[in-house]
Amino acid sequence: MGQDIKNNSERGFTLVETAIALVVMMVVSLSMSSLFVYSLHNNVGGNDRALSMAVAQRQLEQLRSVNFNDATLTVGTTTLPTVTEGGRSYTVVRSISDETNGDGTLKQLKKITISVTPITGVKSWQRTPVVLVSHRSSLTTGVYAVSQ
């Protein structure tokens, strides 16, 4: 006899309540998916910049390993062939200049600037160059003061 009596406090969801809950969950899901796409683009851009930094650092290390009078340290600007790192392509521009004293004489010091720019990227900030600047001196003694 106790099984035949239904408890009025045990009701299910109505169709309207279920539809409203689904709409709320859909709105939340769509907002989360747009956030996911945004973060994905930013992570890819950050990865491109990190790889750009690695390419620039490797270029600087190559220039640091050669003799001061080596032909690779000739004054001028050189655009290297496209460099591929981690499946991405980069443009590398290497600029080398002599440093001079206040009286116009040459120091035994060269300024090396490496600029690495990702070729691909959705946002404009993802295609901005990473620039590393370093100075290289000879082994001879002299005045090497670097002016900013």
- The number of folded domains in the chain is 1
CATH number at residue 112: 3.30.1300.30
CA distance 52 to 58: 10
pLDDT reading at 58 higher than 90: yes
Q: State pLDDT tens for residues 79-89.
A: 999 988 888 88
Q: 4 pLDDT band (50/70/90 cuts)?
A: low
Place of tokens 């040459």: 106
Residue 148 belongs to some domain of the structure = no
pLDDT reading at 13 higher than 80: no
Residue 5 belongs to some domain of the structure = no
Residue 6 belongs to some domain of the structure = no
Q: State pLDDT tens for residues 89-146.
A: 899 999 999 888 888 888 888 999 999 998 876 667 777 889 999 988 887 665 655 5
* Neighbour count for residue 127 (Cβ, 10 Å): 16
Place of tokens 């709409």: 23
What residues make up the domain containing 78? 15-137
CA distance 90 to 112: 19
| Four-CA torsion 15, 21, 23, 25, nearest 10 degrees | -150
Residue 107 belongs to some domain of the structure = yes
Q: 9 pLDDT band (50/70/90 cuts)?
A: low
Residue 7 belongs to some domain of the structure = no
Residue 90 belongs to some domain of the structure = yes
Residue 61 belongs to some domain of the structure = yes
Residue 35 belongs to some domain of the structure = yes
pLDDT reading at 42 higher than 60: yes
